[in-house]
Amino acid sequence: MLINHPLLGPRDAQEFTYLGDAALIQRPDWQADDAADQFHEYLYLRDNPAGLHRELWFHEAGDRSWLVVTRNTVTHEITDVQLARDVARNEGRST
């Protein structure tokens, strides 16, 4: 597979390490009343879509960027790639 790195262009997937669902960016608030439940869901419950899936890839052998890759799990078509840091900021992870 080729991942179209937002900075570096198409790179072979063998340079990357896969983590999983990009929902892992949404780490719950540790002080929430139901923090334990939220963390349980965050850590253990995943959708397993046949189709588009947003997922985290780490460019370990490259520039060390974490990327959010939108990939079709059926066709492997990759429709969108963003720096995870930008995604995290857009999703309100800024402190």
The one among 54, 55, 65, 70 contacting another protein by CB under 8 A: 65
Interaction residues for another protein, span 6-25 (CB under 8 A): 7-8, 10-12, 14-15, 17, 19, 24-25
Question: According to CB under 8 A, which one of 21, 52, 54, 62 is a site residue for another protein?
Answer: 62
By the rule CB under 8 A, 34 interacts with another protein = no
Q: Amino acid letter at 49?
A: P
Half-sphere exposure for 39 (CA within 13 Å, toward CB): 8
Counting DSSP H helices and E strands in the chain, the numbers are 2, 6
| 52 counts as binding another protein under rule CB under 8 A | no
Least separation, in Å, of the C-beta of 26 and another protein? 9
> Environment class of residue 94 by beta-carbon count within 10 Å: exposed (0-12), middle (13-18) or buried (19+)?
exposed
